[in-house]
Amino acid sequence: MADEKNLSIAKDFLRALQAKHVEQVLSLFPEDGVWIAPEGTFTGKASIASYLGWQFGQGQDLKIAESGNGIVTEASRAFIEHTVAYHRGNERIEYTVLCALEFKSSQVKRIRTVYDRLSVERQAVTGTLSKWAVDRILKQAEKGLPWRKKARGA
The pLDDT-based confidence of 133 (bands split at 50, 70, 90) is confident
The answer, as to whether pTM is greater than 0.85, is no
Domain count, the chain: 2
Note the pLDDT of residue 149: 54
CA distance 33 to 26: 9
Residues 85, 93: contact at Cβ < 8 Å?
yes
Instruction: Encode pLDDT of 45-54 as tens digits.
Output: 999 999 999 9
Averaged pLDDT of the chain: 89
Whole domain around residue 124: which residue ranges? 116-154
Let me know how long the chain is.
Answer: 154
Same domain for 78 and 150, yes or no, is no
Same domain for 107 and 152, yes or no, is no
**What CATH number is attached to the domain comprising 20?**
3.10.450.50
Q: What is the mean pLDDT of residues 57-64?
A: 91
Same domain for 81 and 128, yes or no, is no
Same domain for 134 and 72, yes or no, is no
Same domain for 27 and 103, yes or no, is yes
**Residue 43: beta bridge partners?**
34
